[in-house]
Amino acid sequence: MNNIIFTFADYWWVYVGFIVLVGFILILDLGVFHKNAHEVKFKEALGWSIFWVSFALVINWFFYRFSLLKLEGSPELIPQGLTTAVYAKQLAMEFLTGFVIEKSLAIDNIFLFIIVFQYFAIPSKYQHRILFFGIIGAVVFRAIFIAIGAKLMAYEAVVIFFGLFLIFTGAKMLFMSEQSIDPESNWFIKNLKKFIPLHPKIEGQKFFIKLGKIWYATPLFMALIFLEISDIIFAVDSVPAIYAITKEPMIVFISNILAILGLRAMFFLLSGSIERFKYIKVGLAFVLMFVGLKMTYLNHAFGGKFPISWSLLTITFFISSSILYSIWVDAKHKAAQEGKEK
């Protein structure tokens, strides 16, 4: 029996339909709501954040109903000992857990966004445009990674390799001090500048500007390229992390893309106060190590599948605890500073 229920060959129309729906929303986003470049304020960012999370939950509900319908017509796909409703709920829970993992790991991207925008001196009103096109590129590259992962994760040795890689990455994040990021030292950026002349000034929201007969790339384009390269690096962690939760490429793809789509709004929502969450990386490190442990040991220890509800609770605990501890430390530090001033 095929372990994959929603194969791409049979359900390609779901992928296409989802991409068309997302494309329509993105066109509305840039062509209507952000037609004119402007600084995204907290209230607007909060509204979009609520929209994208709500959108993901609605898609999750439709996926649950879709799974229920599929399983009712193909009861042979249901693992022994489970009912149709229970297995459909398990698949929906895998979807939600994958979304939470990617959403959590995306917080690390926000630190990078802030550094890159500061480095290239990108005004706030143009940051949304860069992130918009960065998201489109991220969707394309994630789709490629997920397609490759669907093939590779069928081999036990590959699963173990990525599990150990995630444990190592989490431990490195936990114990090593954060290194400074210098876009100018990036190999791709340095070589790109040999082929594309760089204009030192920002010219509105343009990525390119023509002076005489020569086209020049503006700092907006360089910032976009650096963010795209960085997302490819981040995908090496996040895609295997979701495959540790589920074997269904459809769940990996849709939950991953939904989390990425809300990244822009989350950036504008948290960018002004991200320094308050200095211990969030500790929570992310434990999430990566936990997911790696699932791939290398826990799934085997629990008869091939670590309980998905336990996974969701564990991941939520690590992230929420690191956020709450960060807020507590920040409040304690401010109270101490106010005490000294008095």
178-192, 217-231, 239-253: lowest mean pLDDT where?
178-192
- Can you tell me the distance from the alpha carbon of 202 to that of 205, in angstroms, rounded to the nearest whole number? 8
13-22, 140-149, 246-255: lowest mean pLDDT where?
140-149
Is 276 contained in some domain?
A: yes
At position 272, the amino acid (one-letter code) is G
Closest CA relative to residue 107, chosen from 226, 243, 238: 238
Between 176 and 58, residue with greater pLDDT: 58
- Can you list the pairs that 198-201 forms with residues at least 24 positions away whose Cβ atoms lie under 8 Å? 198/222
What percent of the chain clears pLDDT 70, i.e. is strictly above it?
89
Q: Is the per-residue pLDDT at 33 higher than 50?
A: yes
Is 312 contained in some domain?
A: yes
Is 229 contained in some domain?
A: yes
220-225 average pLDDT score: 86
84-102 average pLDDT score: 92
Task: Quote the pLDDT of residue 120.
Answer: 80
150-163 average pLDDT score: 82
Is 86 contained in some domain?
A: yes
Is 316 contained in some domain?
A: yes
Closest CA relative to residue 323, chosen from 270, 272, 268: 270
Task: Quote the pLDDT of residue 269.
Answer: 78
Task: Quote the pLDDT of residue 88.
Answer: 92
Task: Quote the pLDDT of residue 146.
Answer: 84
Closest CA relative to residue 250, chosen from 2, 1, 82, 10: 10
Task: Quote the pLDDT of residue 111.
Answer: 75
- Can you tell me the distance from the alpha carbon of 147 to that of 153, in angstroms, rounded to the nearest whole number? 10
Q: Is the per-residue pLDDT at 42 higher than 90?
A: no
Alpha carbon 215 to its chain's center: 33
- Can you tell me the distance from the alpha carbon of 20 to that of 205, in angstroms, rounded to the nearest whole number? 26
Is 214 contained in some domain?
A: yes
10-19, 36-45, 218-227: lowest mean pLDDT where?
36-45
pLDDT tens for 280-313 read 888 888 888 988 888 888 878 877 778 888 888 9
Task: Quote the pLDDT of residue 126.
Answer: 83
The alpha carbon dihedral of 191, 108, 165, 171 has a sign of positive
Is 342 contained in some domain?
A: no
Alpha carbon 16 to its chain's center: 20
Q: Which domain holds residue 245?
A: 8-335
51-65, 72-86, 149-163: lowest mean pLDDT where?
149-163
Contacts of residue 261, Cβ cutoff 8 Å, sequence gap at least 6: 22, 25, 26, 52, 55, 135
Task: Quote the pLDDT of residue 1.
Answer: 40
14-19 average pLDDT score: 90
Is 341 contained in some domain?
A: no
- Can you tell me the distance from the alpha carbon of 82 to that of 74, in angstroms, rounded to the nearest whole number? 13
| Total domains in the fold of the chain | 1
- What value does the mean pLDDT of the chain take? 82
155 φ, ψ (degrees, to nearest 5) = -100, 125
pLDDT tens for 273-286 read 666 777 888 888 88
- Crossing angle of helices 219-243/249-261, nearest 10°? 140
Task: Quote the pLDDT of residue 133.
Answer: 85
